[in-house]
Amino acid sequence: MGLHFSYIQQSGTSQESISLDMQTSIQVSIVIPVLNQIDKVQSCLDALLQQDFPRDQLEIIVIDNGSTDGTWNI
């Protein structure tokens, strides 16, 4: 089993979502709100993935509030 990862991008009234769902029983949810943080998002995600917490019990949700700097492409 693996990690549950969601990325939500909001732009005006529309919302786009990517979800990789490989979960069993989520124990910890981490919510990362971002806006034009392309230079910080990848290092934040990398640090979270290096933790020794069981990945099948971890959910990472990134919420993008309409970034224009390419954050959505991370």
Q: pLDDT grade, residue 73 (50/70/90)? A: confident
pLDDT in tens, 41-64: 999 999 998 999 888 888 888 888
Q: Which tens digit of pLDDT belongs to each residue from 23-37?
A: 457 788 899 999 999
Closest by CA to 71, choosing from 44, 30, 39, 47, is 39
Asked if 9 and 19 count as a contact pair (C-beta separation under 8 A), the reply is no
Check pLDDT > 50 for residue 1. Answer: no
Q: What is the pLDDT of residue 26?
A: 75
